[in-house]
């Protein structure tokens, strides 16, 4: 590295991170979802994460350190809650001896800097296929937050689409029950909630719209069900853009696959009680050199396999504030 590059790195490294990475206000709750692919971000047993390396765990560490999330929803994680919490503790240690908490179900895990006061889960099965979602109630400083972290079945054949629909119906019913004081987690009125994760809604905008409007199964002629939000409207579907700007909204890409890039990963939230202050899809491959240095990221950090040129899923982030 020559002297000029060293000097530029030192100057930029002392500057604030790029604007889209910064929380818009101190009290915002940063929630992130990421399908990390088959436990790939976890180092081998007994090994620590070296954030300066070129490995997948190092990429994950740099992304977390740049994003500073408060709540994570990860998919394709099978190592369990304890190891998930330990990994995030090693990357983003909390002050005053605090510890991240985690709750896992199937291959989804919620990791939270806030206390998890209640846990639940759901799953759908079709032969050897299983998909599910972890559910947690988080005790934030000024409010609770009900989180559904889901991984829906991929694919576009009839059985795969049916599994996605059944899981969506289950989530809608679970939230309705929780709002009405039934089920494993009973919610106080106007408790904020989010549904997020890898929805795998391939070429299925109608599916996501129906889930947001809680119209699963399809409404009967002349009968309209109340929306899922507390004010009986549909919940909001965040549609973030790459690095908070431009027109690219896809959250998954694999140039070796038959499917084109798509918006497979979603964040739905109760916008009657929550406000989105900032939302973006992290795409390090389109950040400028100056932005990468400022954020201490690398061009490859969101790619699943840089050597093979495989992108896969991207981290999706939203900064939420509770409406007063």
- 146-161 pLDDT tens trace: 999 999 999 989 999 8
Q: Determine the Cα–Cα distance for residues 134 and 123; give it in Å rounded to an integer.
A: 9
Question: Does 317 score more than 70 pLDDT?
Answer: yes
How does the average pLDDT of the chain come out, rounded? 92
Lowest mean pLDDT among 214-218, 233-237, 287-291: 214-218
Residue with tokens 């436990």: 39
Name the class of domain 3-322. Answer: alpha beta
Contact in structure between 187 and 179 (CB atoms under 8 Å):
yes
Q: What is the mean pLDDT of residues 18-27?
A: 94
Q: How far apart are the first and last CA of the chain?
A: 51
pLDDT value, residue 4: 41
pLDDT value, residue 215: 81
pLDDT value, residue 2: 44
pLDDT value, residue 213: 82
Q: Where are the domains of the chain?
A: 3-322
pLDDT value, residue 148: 98
- 106-134 pLDDT tens trace: 999 999 999 999 999 999 999 999 999 99
pLDDT value, residue 203: 63
pTM score, two decimals? 0.93
Lowest mean pLDDT among 21-25, 46-50, 211-215, 296-300: 211-215
What 3-state class would DSSP assign to 151? strand
Q: What is the mean pLDDT of residues 24-43?
A: 97
> Which residues are registered as beta bridge partners of 313?
252
DSSP 235-292: PEEE--EETT-SS---SEE-TTSSSPPB--EEEEE-TTTEEEEEEEE--GGGS-HHHH
pLDDT value, residue 156: 87
% of the chain surpassing 70 pLDDT? 92
Lowest mean pLDDT among 24-33, 89-98, 254-263: 254-263
pLDDT value, residue 16: 74
Q: Determine the Cα–Cα distance for residues 232 and 219; give it in Å rounded to an integer.
A: 15
Q: What is the mean pLDDT of residues 255-278?
A: 95
pLDDT value, residue 324: 81
Q: What is the mean pLDDT of residues 241-257?
A: 96
Q: What is the mean pLDDT of residues 68-72?
A: 98
């Amino acid at each position: 590295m020559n002297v000029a590059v060293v000097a530029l790195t030192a100057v930029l490294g002392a500057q604030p991170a790029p604007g889209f990475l910064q929380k818009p206000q101190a009290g915002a709750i940063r929630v992130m979802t990421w399908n990390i692919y088959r436990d790939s971000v976890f180092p081998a047993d007994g090994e620590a994460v070296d954030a300066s390396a070129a490995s997948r765990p190092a990429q994950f560490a740099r992304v977390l350190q740049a994003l500073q999330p408060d709540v994570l929803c990860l998919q394709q994680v099978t190592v369990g809650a304890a190891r998930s919490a330990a990994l995030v503790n090693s990357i983003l240690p909390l002050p005053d001896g605090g510890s991240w908490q985690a709750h896992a179900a199937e291959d989804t895990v919620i990791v939270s800097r806030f206390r998890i006061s209640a846990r639940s889960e759901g799953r759908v099965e079709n032969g050897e296929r299983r998909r599910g979602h972890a559910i947690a109630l988080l005790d934030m400083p000024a409010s609770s937050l009900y989180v559904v972290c889901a991984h829906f079945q991929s694919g576009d054949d009839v059985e795969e689409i049916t599994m996605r629909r059944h899981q969506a119906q289950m989530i809608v019913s679970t939230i309705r029950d929780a709002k009405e004081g039934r089920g494993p987690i009973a919610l106080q009125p106007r408790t904020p909630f989010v549904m997020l994760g890898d929805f795998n809604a391939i070429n299925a905008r109608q599916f996501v719209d129906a889930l947001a409007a809680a119209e699963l199964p399809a409404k009967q002629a002349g009968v309209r069900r109340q929306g899922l939000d507390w004010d009986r409207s549909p919940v909001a579907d965040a549609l973030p853009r790459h690095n908070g700007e431009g027109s690219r909204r896809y959250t998954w890409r694999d140039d070796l696959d038959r499917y084109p890039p798509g918006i497979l990963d979603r964040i739905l939230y109760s916008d009657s009680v929550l406000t989105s202050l900032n939302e973006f899809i992290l795409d390090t491959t389109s950040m400028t050199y100056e932005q990468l240095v400022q954020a201490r990221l690398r061009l490859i950090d969101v790619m699943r396999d840089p050597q093979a040129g495989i992108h896969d899923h991207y981290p999706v982030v939203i900064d939420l504030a509770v409406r007063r």
